[in-house]
Each structure stands twice: as structure tokens, then as C-alpha cells.
Amino acid sequence: MPLPVVAVVGRPNVGKSTLFNRLIGARLAVVDDTPGVTRDRLVRRADWNGLEFHLVDTGGWVPEADDVMDHRILEQVLEAVRICDLVLFVVDVRAGVQPHDRVIARELFKLDLPVLLAGNKADHDRLDADALEFLELGWETIFPIAAAEGRGVADLLDAAVARLRSAPPRSVNTRAGLGGENGVRVTLVGRPNVGKSSLANLLLGEERMIVDNQPGTTRDAVDAPFRYHGHDLILVDTAGMRRRVESQPAYEFYATLRAMRALDRSDIAVLVLDATEPITRQDARIGSLIEEARTGVVIAVNKWDLLEKDERTMGDWVRRIQEHLPFLAFAPIVFISALTHQRIHRLPEVVMTAYENTRREIGTADLNRVLERATDHNPPRSRGSGQRPIRIYYATQVRTAPPTVALFVSEPARMAHDYLRYLVGKFREEFPLEGSPLRLVMR
């Protein structure tokens, strides 16, 4: 199922980014005492009590904004709220109810969305009573919290997860199976202007999407079914994921959220790169979203016809991808041109192979044969030094899509992460898993 989306909203300087960082366990958002310091949007995956969700950190909501930057932020906040499944409305208990709090509350009631009211900066018990003042905004409950210290955050998360579990995400599409009712869902992702829409038009055989040299001319995710050698597929061409910058229009932020949801309900992601440009940090960021979504993946290097090539060019590009996108090293690479149709026929073939590999089942005996050989050659390592040896008793596959292998281990908490990567590499050497993630879980 697609992951639900939770948006953290509120007027400037109430501690939204501090709460965001507390919820995801990392300091990613810019935190400052200056109002409006969070101008770009951050979207990260979080989990609580076994439920995963997308968490969106929004800029300060300034109703009826006159400043150009405040107006852009307001547009983005409203788009985030419209697509989300739950709103965490953050207010400042120490400041008391402000006029902007009242305006925001009225807007949220108009949108008829589930809302949890969080009274931040309540770092003492005596401030809990002050938080009750905010019930005048129209909600029956407020959660006093101190995001900086973590006080009350667990109760807020418990309530959020309970609310999310009581209703399905607003996007109800599920990942389809091969030959199923809907077909294999293939999502095209990449920076603006790398040729996703041109590629989609070529695969579909029709001029379905707006194609322009200006970045961002495809503003929404469009689903389109097609057939390839008897297989039903559904192509989702997402709007280009722009770098998060201050001038980003609201529609592009909205498209990014839609793209993330498309990944959640996709079987295969095709990461489209531009052969005429270096691999950028934004390419890597989009690649990391694919990794988080745990879909199968194929890398398509487009505009290959525009590149001056020699016998080393293709190998150089492979090494470049391995260097900048090491977490997608298992992805097959296809060098294509949507303009001249070069190798386009290969792309659906590689996609179908990757899809079949995400559904691959590996016998327990075969897994343990590889495991025994790997551990004999390189015994399990633990975190730290001077620790007693760790024993891996056996391995068995517990699910597909993606293939997930359970390792039964004497002390799972002490297993070194680099040793797990070593085992993943050994399994990949033996089994056909190109294009598919491989997860190891310890028990």
C-alpha cells in the first residue's frame, strides 16, 4: 500500500522543524529562531509502532501573505495540506493564541482533514494548563509537547499512528502483480528535462504528455497502460523532481509528493539520467527515494545520441553511476535515446526481467549453502572489539517484492552493518537478482 503523508504545519517560529527532526531522529531541517527560516520543503520517511509514513516539514504558514517569498511558501504549504492524510498543527504554548493561529485553524476546518493539535514549547508541567487555551481554535484535544527535549512527542505519535491506521491513505492504489488486473506499474523518475515525457510518449506510441525544453512542463503524474509482448504494464510519468530551492513553485512541490506516492505503489522505478550532464546531487537524492521505496529499479541513461563516444565511454558511465549511486549498484543500466529510438526496445525487456527478479523465490537449502561458504571464508563480525563471536544459525526467505531473507542470529543487535553488506554481495553473486533490492532481516 502507498504510505500515508503527514504534514507538519503552523505559523513561523513555532518549532515545526524541531518537531520534524525529533520525529525522524535526525537534524535535517534548518532550525533557527528567525521566523521563516524553513523556506524549502523537506520530505522524509518515518515510522512509529510499525507504521511507516511520509513526513513533510513545511515553511511558516503566513495567511494572506504579501511578501513574494511568504506567498510562495503559503502556496507550498497549502499544496502539502491538500495531499496529506493527517495534519500536525503546531502552536507555541509560550506565545499563546495568535491571530495567525486562528486563521490557520479556520482554513484547516474548511479543508475537512484529520488534524492533531500540538502545543509546542511546553517544557514544564505547569505549561500544560496554558496549552488548554488553544482549544478555543475548535479541537477537543491538544498534545502539550516540547519538541527540543522530546517531551510528549511519543503521545503525539501514538495518536497520529492510531488516526492513520483508522483510515487508508487517500491514494488507495496497491502494487500490482505480473499479469494481474492492472499490470506491472513502471514509474519514470528523474530531474526535470532529462527526457521522461519523450520516453513515455515513445513507449506509448502517442503524444500524451506535454513535452518542452523548459524544466517542469510535466506537472503531474499521469498513468497510462500499454502492452509489451503479452505483458500488461502501466507507465507512470512523474513530474521532474526539482532541487528544493526557494523559488520552487507550489505545483512542483506538489508533483514531488505525488511522485513519492507513485514510487510507493510501483513495481519498478526507471531512473532517467541525462548522458550530456554529470550526475548531480539531485540525481542521487531521487535515487535514494527509490531505495527507500524498495521497488525494483532500472537506470536509463537518455540522450545517448548527443554524446561523442569512443570505446571507453560506456564503461566510464557505468563507473560514474557506481561511484555516485552506489546504493543502486544492483540496477541494470540501459543507454538509450528517446529522440532516435536507440535501444528503446531493450528498456521494457530489462524492466520485465527486473520485475521477475523482485518476485524471485530462493530455496532455503540454496541460501544456506551460500551462507555457509560466505561465513567460512569471512566469519561474522560484531560491533566493537573484544566481543564474543556471533553465530548465524541459518537463513530462509520470508517474502518477495522485494526478496527478503531472514537471518537467525545469536545476537542480532551486535551484527556489524558492513558484514550484512558482505552477505548481500555474496547472495547477489549466486542468485539472479539484477534490478531487485535484497533485504536482510535478523531474528
Model confidence pLDDT, tens digit, residues 308-331: 989 999 999 999 999 999 999 999
361 contacts 401 by C-beta, under 8 angstroms: no
Residue 165 in grid coordinates: 491506521
Same domain, 209 and 143: no
The segment with the largest mean pLDDT, out of 13-27, 210-224, 270-284, is 270-284
The two most distant CA atoms of the chain are separated, in Å, by 73
Q: Does some domain include residue 178? A: no
Locus of grid cell 509528493: 257
Q: Is 345 a residue whose pLDDT tops 50?
A: yes
The verdict on residue 345 lying in a domain is: yes
Dihedral sign (CA 243, 246, 252, 255):
positive
120 shares a domain with 20? yes
Q: In this structure, is residue 27 part of a structural domain? A: yes
Give the Cα separation of 61 and 103 in Å (integer).
Answer: 10
pLDDT band at 181 (very low <50, low <70, confident <90, very high): very low
Identify whether residues 41 and 143 lie together within a single domain.
Answer: yes
Query: What CATH number has the domain bearing residue 61?
Result: 3.40.50.300
- The answer to whether residue 58 sits within a structural domain is yes
Same domain, 278 and 415: no
**Which grid cell sits at 367?**
541460501
Domain count, the chain: 3
Percent of the chain with pLDDT over 70: 79
Q: pLDDT band at 64, cuts 50/70/90?
A: low
Q: What is the mean pLDDT of residues 149-161?
A: 94
Residue 171 lies in a domain: no
159 pLDDT exceeds 90?
yes
Residue 154 pLDDT class (50, 70, 90 cuts) = very high
Higher per-residue confidence, 211 vs 230 = 230
- What is the model's pLDDT at position 54? 83
Q: Which pLDDT does position 73 carry in this prediction?
A: 63
Residue with the bigger pLDDT between 56 and 228: it is 56
Mean pLDDT of the 33-38 span: 40
Domain carrying residue 74: 5-165
Query: What residues does 309 pair with on adjacent strands?
Result: none
- Say yes or no: 352 and 371 in one domain: no
Same domain, 269 and 155: no
Output the domain CATH number for residue 399. Answer: 3.30.300.20
Per-residue confidence (pLDDT) for residue 206, from 0 to 100: 55
Same domain, 405 and 334: no
Strand spans (E) along 245-322 = 268-274, 296-302
- 133, 255: one domain: no
Residue 117 shares a structural domain with residue 202: no
Quick check: is 175 in a domain?
A: no
pLDDT at 413: 87
Residue 394 confidence (pLDDT) above 70:
yes
Convert the pLDDT of each residue in 277-299 to its tens digit.
Answer: 999 988 998 898 899 889 999 99
**251 pLDDT exceeds 80?**
no
Same domain, 374 and 401: yes
**Mean pLDDT of all residues in the chain?**
82
Spatial CB neighbours of 15, under 8 Å, sequence gap ≥ 6 = 90, 92, 120, 121, 147, 148
* Position 179 in a domain: no
Indicate if 352 and 369 belong to the same structural domain: no
What is the pLDDT, as a whole number, of residue 231? 74
Give Cα separations from 128 to 93, 160, 223 (angstroms): 8, 19, 48
Q: Are residues 319 and 379 in the same domain?
A: no
Report if residue 173 sits inside a domain: no
